[in-house]
Structure 1
């Protein structure tokens, strides 16, 4: 892995986490991505991502890689929201997340919101690879613009494979650089916050989740695999978190 690079076209940085049942043999932060070992409950190792500098800015290419090896338990959160900001030259920023969860391992990936500030342009790609017996709780939330401002351009892609087979692959795009209709009634309907919660685990093999609405602006969908997906929109980040937290409490199982 290359080290941190600071150049005229932005920051290049990758943070890495490796969790085993015994501990965290790899915990390497770079540039804007500082990693801190924090107090955990039960069998989990816990890591908090701390923003060491403003990022992602236009032109930045940053990444987080986490590997949860067989039998390990890892909880990852963040100390504050991530804010996508415009760079000096209007360049696009890239933020990649790559997660691998082994057999009889569990990852809880619960960061704070991503805020798309006015004038920013960010592509965020998340790739998750799960062993057949892996467990996952994954939350992502996007807030379109800070208070009183329009959003930047935000494109996201979430790709999940389980046992080498596709489980989920979806793309979303918002803001002035996205195709028309993103703020229409069939997508956001004027809301400023959007998010989803993905829960994967063997508990759904024999008892799949049942599809249903969760209030007026959220839906629970069982996937073609031992998993469920909650998708929600809300007027603001606080209300969005409330919906996703309620779903998490209802479907999270402990071992």
Structure 2
């Protein structure tokens, strides 16, 4: 007897159909690779308190960027100290300082100690960003301690400042290339300043191994291992701009095309650079 039965146009057999193949599971998701190094941000917001002083409704630090309120020489000014809570920046780290001074606020920012740029295990460069915003009638003094570029390090510093036309600023930057008897690391620094929405200053510095040739020659640092600059922005300079001048053998005063003056200095050590910039601050600052 046959195992096949035919009825009309329908045919069936005694053989069971093969089971369907099980679904193939999708490949496991690969977790994103976490960024190398530390990420930390310090945020500061200053506002006029309506009584002739300045309040700090926002004062928040992360990781190595600890913030402490300090007494200022002026009762109208709020003081903030940036305290290094751990070693940073190492290669691969990204640190950011954000400070805003609202209308009429007066803020003084400083750091407790020098910042050492150190090499990291990843081989990636470290980044240190500073963002400063000053609204109408505000004033800010940013006076950190020197940045030391340690041998084998790779640090990129970016400072951006936005000022209202009536705001005032004193900004100091100091760099030391290597510790005593040590070759420097690679340091790249850029400072960009806007006043009233218009460019006031945009300059870039690169020095150390891997920097463009000539950075240490006669047209560059000329063998010096400490350098610094002081930028003062004051609306009063629009009527009475400072005159160009020379402060010692390797320091110069340059009026900018706006209500500002830039003082640059080179020296064999950080102490001499500080002396020159302090003298300039007493003359052009407040």
- What TM-score do you get using the length of structure 1 for normalisation? 0.96
- 1:142 paired residue number: 175
CA deviation map 1:211-250 (0-9, x unaligned):
1111100000000000000011110000000000011111
Which structure 2 residues correspond to residues 43-192 of structure 1 after superposition, within 5 A? Answer: 43-192=76-225
Cα distance between partner residues in 1 of 2:77 and 2:218:
41
CA deviation map 1:83-138 (0-9, x unaligned):
00000122100110000011111000000000000000000000000000000000
Cα distance between partner residues in 1 of 2:94 and 2:57:
25
CA displacement at 1:8 relative to structure 2 = 6.4
Q: Which aligned segments of 4 or more residues in structure 1 are displaced greater than 3 angstroms?
A: none
Instruction: Specify the SS of the correspondent of 2:62.
Output: coil
CA displacement at 1:202 relative to structure 2 = 1.2
2:65 aligns with one of 23, 28, 33: 33
- 2:240 paired residue number: 207
Gaps (5+ residues) in structure 2?
Answer: 1-33, 50-54
Root mean square deviation of aligned Cα: 0.8
Instruction: Specify the SS of the correspondent of 1:94.
Output: strand
- 2:249 paired residue number: 216
CA deviation map 1:189-223 (0-9, x unaligned):
10000110000011101101101111100000000
Gaps (5+ residues) in structure 1?
Answer: 1-6
CA displacement at 1:37 relative to structure 2 = 0.3
1:12 aligns with 2:39: yes
Cα distance between partner residues in 1 of 2:210 and 2:59:
36
CA deviation map 1:63-82 (0-9, x unaligned):
00000000000000010000
Instruction: Specify the SS of the correspondent of 2:179.
Output: coil
2:48 aligns with one of 8, 14, 21: 21
Q: Identify, as 1 or 2, the structure richer in strand.
A: 1
Cα distance between partner residues in 2 of 1:196 and 1:144:
15
Cα distance between partner residues in 1 of 2:105 and 2:244:
31
Instruction: Specify the SS of the correspondent of 2:282.
Output: helix
- What TM-score do you get using the length of structure 2 for normalisation? 0.85
The total of aligned residue pairs comes to 247
